[in-house]
Amino acid sequence: MSQTQAAPREEAPARGLTGSLGATAIVFMVVAAASPLTVVGGATPLGILIGNGVGFPSLYAVAAVVLLLFAVGLATMARHVPRPGAFFTYVGYGFGRGAGLAAAWIAMLTYTVVQLAVYGYLGYILSVTVAGVGGPSLAWWLYALAVVAIVGILGYRHIDLSSKVLGVLLVAEVAIVLVLVAAVTFSGGAEGLSAAPFLPENIVSGSPGVGLTFAIAAFIGFEATAIFRDEARDPDRTIPRATYTAVVGIGVFYTLASWAMVMAWGPNGVMDAASQDPGTLLLRTVARYLGTVGEVTINVLLITSLFACVLSFHNVITRYQHSMANAGVLPARLATVHAAHRSPHAASIVQTVTAAVLLAAFALLQLDPVLQVFTWFSGVATLSVVLLMAVASGAVIAYFLRTRKDRRLWHTLVAPALGLLGLVGIGILIVAYYPMLVGDVDAEGNPVFGTVSWILIALIVAFPVGGAVQAAWIRARRPAAYAKLTDAIAS
């Protein structure tokens, strides 16, 4: 039978996603994107070393409080806007279609670059690990491309499969970290247990702006719970419950884990331990408190943690593409749903190809997978998502002030406003210290905006500007398509 004859059976005529995901499954999907073990082993040592030192654990708590305030408005919006577009849709409802499309492109940038960052780190870890056990010494990007293919296969199939894979890996990651926390706690640590990380003088020491960058980056993905609305069992209850559970769970877990890291070496010794090699601080801590078996286990779970992260972001990106295609701003082909798997398979294929092409470009440019691919694009993702959440908070306030559909002041005004103020403050600190993330510093080590910093920030500006231009073009040339962008009151 020809491909033309077989094609109609490949895709379902309906464009809606379906599923029966509960709050737990959705939490697994979005928390896995935070890659718990990667954060504990990568972001935490760097936050201690080049952030605010002993006080870094407190910044996870600060970030959690701000993002919980933001989540109140996000969850309230999810009840009144029965669409899965999340930021794309919510900003459109609050500020109009043009702003919504600009937000959609910021979101696409955020999740795409953070996925690329993790692909680079995962490729590096795999290359070192395989070579270390006597395997072939291959370039990092070959391993990264192999993982892209595996993720593409899982993303093509029904999301229930991805959620089960992510659930197993996430439980294993969290379990090993909690075992480490227990070992440090029961042993009393290196200098005795204390609340030193939460003392005001330690919180504001060093470079808290850099520390906040790493802390906020650890939460990227939690806000994507609304993306899975069409695949949730009872979206009006499941999505808010999953959102609150995700942000609280992430905040408590990272605060506890990073506190244990400081206690493991002591407030007076953790900086020296991190400066020796921040990349191996977690492994050395585990070897010290859990022995060789724990160290080997952590090595394996670090790889699966990174894999879970890219798989989760792949699912988020494909659903953004699916929502944007349904709104008429991306090719209609991306809105199709697989007849058997009920997945946005066309969007999944496009995302897989995009990741492969960009990684190949990084390889040709000979970028370092950790110091450049991972660090640079993690910084882009963090600043982008803070900007996106700040705009979304403002959109929540604008929407409910205009429509009066929900008169609960805390949910529609107070919490979103407090979240907005917190996000703006965090954004200012991140920008001020941004050059330090990419190595743009003067002879004294002070941050100075150089070529790399300006290029990456220009990228963050270009995407929303491009979205606004696209919205204006669609409004002028395709008014019917413009009307589909959101059901917002005309802007």
pLDDT digits (tens, 9 = 90+) for 270-291: 999 999 888 788 889 999 999 9
Q: What SS3 state is found at 56?
A: helix
Maximum mean pLDDT: which of 88-102, 149-163, 245-259: 245-259
Domain count, the chain: 1
What is the band of 371 on the pLDDT scale with cuts at 50, 70, 90?
A: confident
User: For the domain that residue 181 is a member of, what is the CATH number?
Assistant: 1.20.1740.10
Q: Which are the contacts of 431, defined by CB distance < 8 A and separation ≥ 6? A: 383, 457
**Tokens 């929303």 label which residue?**
464
**What confidence tens digit (pLDDT) does each residue in 291-307 have?**
988 888 888 888 888 88
Q: What b/e readout covers 285-311, taking b as 16+ CB neighbours within 10 angstroms?
A: bbbbbbeeebbebbeebbbbbbbbbbb
Residue 131 resides in a domain? yes
What is the band of 174 on the pLDDT scale with cuts at 50, 70, 90?
A: confident
What is the band of 104 on the pLDDT scale with cuts at 50, 70, 90?
A: confident
Q: What SS3 state is found at 11?
A: strand
**Is residue 486 over pLDDT 60?**
no
Q: Which residue has the higher pLDDT, 217 or 484?
A: 217
Residue 4 resides in a domain? no
**Is residue 381 over pLDDT 70?**
yes
User: Do 435 and 211 touch, CB atoms closer than 8 A?
Assistant: no
Please give the Cα distance from 442 to 437 (Å, whole number).
Answer: 13
Q: Which are the contacts of 240, defined by CB distance < 8 A and separation ≥ 6? A: 75, 76, 78, 79
Q: Which residues pair with 11 in a beta bridge?
A: 338
**Is residue 65 over pLDDT 70?**
yes
The average pLDDT across 73-84 equals: 76
Residue in 286, 308, 312, 313 with CA at minimum distance from that of residue 299: 286
**Poorest-pLDDT segment among 245-249, 364-368, 446-450, 464-468:** 446-450
The average pLDDT across 383-411 equals: 92
Residue 8 resides in a domain? no
**Is residue 140 over pLDDT 90?**
yes
**Is residue 259 over pLDDT 90?**
yes
**Is residue 74 over pLDDT 90?**
no
pLDDT, mean over the chain: 83
| Angle, helices 375-403/87-95, rounded to nearest 10 degrees | 40
Residue 5 resides in a domain? no
Residue 204 resides in a domain? yes
The average pLDDT across 166-188 equals: 87
**What confidence tens digit (pLDDT) does each residue in 3-42 have?**
434 333 344 444 444 455 555 666 666 666 567 888 898 7
| Angle, helices 87-95/281-326, rounded to nearest 10 degrees | 60
Range(s) of the domain holding residue 275:
22-483
Residue 275, token pair as written in the block: 């400066």
What is the band of 452 on the pLDDT scale with cuts at 50, 70, 90?
A: confident
Q: What SS3 state is found at 444?
A: coil
**Poorest-pLDDT segment among 147-161, 206-220, 371-385:** 147-161
Residue 225's pLDDT is: 64
Residue 487's pLDDT is: 46
Residue 292's pLDDT is: 87
What is the band of 214 on the pLDDT scale with cuts at 50, 70, 90?
A: confident
Residue 329, token pair as written in the block: 């701003």
**pTM metric for this prediction:** 0.81
**Is residue 260 over pLDDT 90?**
yes
Q: Which residue has the higher pLDDT, 103 or 263?
A: 263
Residue 7's pLDDT is: 39
Residue 7 resides in a domain? no
Maximum mean pLDDT: which of 91-105, 263-277, 292-306, 370-384: 263-277
What is the DSSP-derived secondary structure letter of residue 489? P
Residue 8's pLDDT is: 39
Residue 363's pLDDT is: 94
Residue 436 resides in a domain? yes
**Is residue 164 over pLDDT 80?**
no
Residue 287 resides in a domain? yes
**What confidence tens digit (pLDDT) does each residue in 235-247 have?**
667 777 888 888 8
The average pLDDT across 260-277 equals: 94
Residue 137's pLDDT is: 86
